[in-house]
Amino acid sequence: MKSFSTNISKSFSELVYAKTKLVPRGRVTTYGQIAKAIGKPKSSRAVGNALNCNPYAPVVPCHRVVRSDGKIGGFAYGAKAKAGLLAKEGVKVIDGKIMDFPKKLFKFGK
C-alpha cells in the first residue's frame, strides 16, 4: 500500500490533497487538472496514486476527482459509492460516466 510520505515537507501527495480540497460541492475535477495545478501535467497517474491512499479521507473530497474522459475512474470504497456521493451533491452519474461533465468540471485558477 502506498502509505503517505513519512516526510514532514510538502510532498507530491500533499499538494494533491491541497488542490482536491478546493473543489466545491456539486463540482468535479480530473486527475489531469490536479496534476496540471501542481505543475506536473503528466503526473495524472501519480495523482490517483496519492488519492488512493488519501489519509485526509473526510477532509479531502476525493470522490470529486474523476477521469478526463468523464468516467468515474476508481474509488477506495468502490466506484459505485463514489457515484452515489456525487449524485447526492447534484452530479448525476450513469454507468460510471458523469452527466454534463464539462459543465460540472471545476478548473484551478483557470
Q: Which of 37, 46, 83, 98 binds DNA (CB under 7 A)?
A: 46
Cβ proximity to DNA, 94 vs 109, nearer residue: 94
Tell me: does residue 86 bind DNA (CB under 7 A): no
Contact region with DNA (CB under 7 A), list: 60-68, 86-94, 100-108: 60-68
Pairing of strands 97-98, 93-94: antiparallel
Burial class (CB in 10 A: 0-12, 13-18, 19+), 56: middle
Q: Which triple of cell numbers denotes residue 8?
A: 514532514
Q: Which of 23, 27, 30, 83 binds DNA (CB under 7 A)?
A: 30
53 flagged as catalytic: no
Cβ proximity to DNA, 51 vs 109, nearer residue: 51
Burial class (CB in 10 A: 0-12, 13-18, 19+), 102: exposed
Q: How far is the CB of 87 from DNA (least distance, A)?
A: 16
> Helix or strand or coil: residue 94?
strand
Q: Which of 72, 79, 77, 66 is nearest to 97 (CA)?
A: 72
Q: Which of 5, 18, 56, 106 binds DNA (CB under 7 A)?
A: 5
* Residues within the interface to DNA (CB under 7 A): 1-5, 11-13, 30-32, 35, 40, 42-52, 54, 62-63, 65, 67-69, 73-76
